[in-house]
Structure 1
């Protein structure tokens, strides 16, 4: 479907009302708390938090309530677009009873959510542990993981830092896959049994259209140019969607699989699932844009640094155009999942990606 145009519907409505989306997911047993954006990522028994890292470098995104709500809308968006699956949370075929997962909660696993800034939550599942930490610093956990999950890490790392993260993930993914690791064990991780998974979801900052409905002089076309230019100057480009597959392969993972998506922005699609996704993604953009670009454009700019007021005017104009129902906007997204090979496994036979 990702290589096909999304059919355009005639009924453009409910752009800001996400309550109907939340009710739908509640009926599936995934409880979505309705807050300012009428959505929330706390799903029972699963809970996602951002594994977002920036250490001594400036933190490129705000850590306020509005940005956390933006993350929540992004979480709901990914659920909607895989809603036909029994498990819309991830695609890695991990063992039935995993013991340790980084960033993703499922079943009876112990879940570690890592961030520089903890989300403002008042309740967590009992198997969830939130830790304030920096992913670029040495990892100190005693347990290897059955799954390491990352989502929307765009702009978080430089290329060398990404290589360090993937290498670290390779070293830490499961190891005693599907078996209990005694907390008192003092084992060399390089000798532990592999077979676990890494999974990553990323999106492009470029706003696209298949039918030419967005005029060439629209400000929407400038978003990808401006943010990518500023991000490149910062040393952390916004091309994770196009680089992650090769980087995961370079780290040593095999059975690399991909699923490509089009994330509509706005409720313009005809198909019910895509209309629902577009409604959520519109709110995702409307609430997130200022936070996404303020640091990049005021510190680095395109082509020179902007003032805060210039960014605010720019974002206001972007919001105005995103609300235009005749513009059929979307962004590319991709999900990649891959396995750590078993000893003596022939990697060469598995180099070709499986794509959906």
Structure 2
């Protein structure tokens, strides 16, 4: 079976202009609102593909060393499934691109546990969905129209078919050459096909009520994360406008950008943002360490104790809910023009 998320809540303000996030004075921590936990089994491939290494008490995929700094253990897989509940932000939609009916061939880049691909395949039974990822953490049993492959999307693509819709989510910590990546997407789309990119900022955090002081443990953590990504060859300073510009430079037309505020904790007054923030709070409990620990130790040279202290203080900052921090999430989509179209 796949997962189907029924969303009955709706953001009460325009998605085109994110609101100032009002604070719920009664909220005390991210645990004030229950989130849903999703789980996925792993796919069984060859022994070499499944080789792992261990560092700082976490498991990492050996063949992804130097390309992907996040763990590949069960804790991380559960976190990735929980992140899928960002659909609350999108009003329950799997995408914002205006695709019609069941696009014949769909590609999900960086599919992770495969949860987006499975949901899309379940909703679009006339589509053939291919999910690709560096790490074999996808389920063994899938829908008949959903398949998974191990591949590196930054290497030359060798697909024999073109795709009618290509989806790319949360790859900013691993993509080093965005123009090349987006050019490959453009090349492998059918004319008239759509691409959608879902990313969030990695440079810092924001607050609408000045509760995020320069000495905040959250900002300290984000500063370390940014330094680690820079040292690893990843650009952490890309913003929504940059993704929109790069899509246009790759040749896409009708490029649209939507920006959303994602609270770190359940402190927001608005019901939907409170739920999104609560989920983010649960994600942060393991995600702060997942993103930062290996970068801080292996790349920045911090001791494991130092890195764990930075991560732990950031997690505690989210838990208390006193600092009303949020990050930006962007949905950016565009269409490949048909022949003769300017």
Is residue 62 of structure 1 aligned with residue 71 of structure 2? yes
Q: Residue in 1 aligned with 2:290?
A: 291
Q: Residue in 2 aligned with 1:254?
A: 253
Cα deviation for residue 306 of structure 1 reads 0.7
Choose which of 76, 101, 121 in structure 2 pairs with 1:96. 101
Q: Residue in 2 aligned with 1:353?
A: none
Change (3 A) 1:11 1:127: farther
Cα deviation for residue 234 of structure 1 reads 1.5
Q: Which runs of 5 or more structure 1 residues have no equivalent in the other structure? A: 23-37, 43-51, 175-193, 347-356
Q: Residue in 1 aligned with 2:57?
A: none
The structure richer in strand per residue is 2
Is residue 340 of structure 1 aligned with residue 336 of structure 2? yes
Q: Residue in 2 aligned with 1:270?
A: 269
Q: Residue in 2 aligned with 1:172?
A: 188
Choose which of 185, 191, 195 in structure 1 pairs with 2:192. 195
Q: Hey, what's the Cα distance between the residues in 2 that align with 1:120 and 1:16?
A: 29
CA displacement, residues 97-132 of structure 1 (integer Å, 9 cap, x when unaligned): 211100143402111111111225354222110111
CA displacement, residues 156-206 of structure 1 (integer Å, 9 cap, x when unaligned): 122xx22221111001112xxxxxxxxxxxxxxxxxxx0000001111132
Q: Hey, what's the Cα distance between the residues in 1 that align with 2:296 and 2:182?
A: 28
Change (3 A) 1:144 1:17: farther
Q: How many residues align?
A: 292
Q: Hey, what's the Cα distance between the residues in 2 that align with 1:17 and 1:125?
A: 35
Listed as ranges, the matches of 1:100-111 within 5 Å are 100-103=105-108, 104=117, 105-106=120-121, 107-108=124-125, 109-111=127-129
Q: Hey, what's the Cα distance between the residues in 1 that align with 2:267 and 2:208?
A: 13
CA displacement, residues 57-106 of structure 1 (integer Å, 9 cap, x when unaligned): 34311111112222112211x211122xxx61101111312111001434
Q: Residue in 1 aligned with 2:50?
A: none
Q: Hey, what's the Cα distance between the residues in 2 that align with 1:128 and 1:14?
A: 38
CA contact (8 A) 2:31 2:266 kept: no
Cα deviation for residue 315 of structure 1 reads 0.9
Q: Hey, what's the Cα distance between the residues in 1 that align with 2:137 and 2:28?
A: 31
Is residue 244 of structure 1 aligned with residue 243 of structure 2? yes
Q: Residue in 1 aligned with 2:131?
A: 113
Q: Residue in 2 aligned with 1:282?
A: 281
Change (3 A) 1:17 1:269: closer
Choose which of 220, 223, 226 in structure 2 pairs with 1:222. 220
The TM-score, its normalising length taken from structure 2, stands at 0.79
CA displacement, residues 212-258 of structure 1 (integer Å, 9 cap, x when unaligned): 12233211122222211221121112234342111111110010001
CA contact (8 A) 2:71 2:290 kept: yes
Change (3 A) 1:56 1:212: closer
Cα deviation for residue 56 of structure 1 reads 7.3
Is residue 10 of structure 1 aligned with residue 30 of structure 2? no
CA contact (8 A) 1:154 1:239 kept: no
Change (3 A) 1:127 1:230: same
CA contact (8 A) 2:244 2:332 kept: yes
Q: Hey, what's the Cα distance between the residues in 1 that align with 2:88 and 2:138?
A: 24
- CA RMSD, 1 decimal: 2.3
Change (3 A) 1:13 1:324: closer
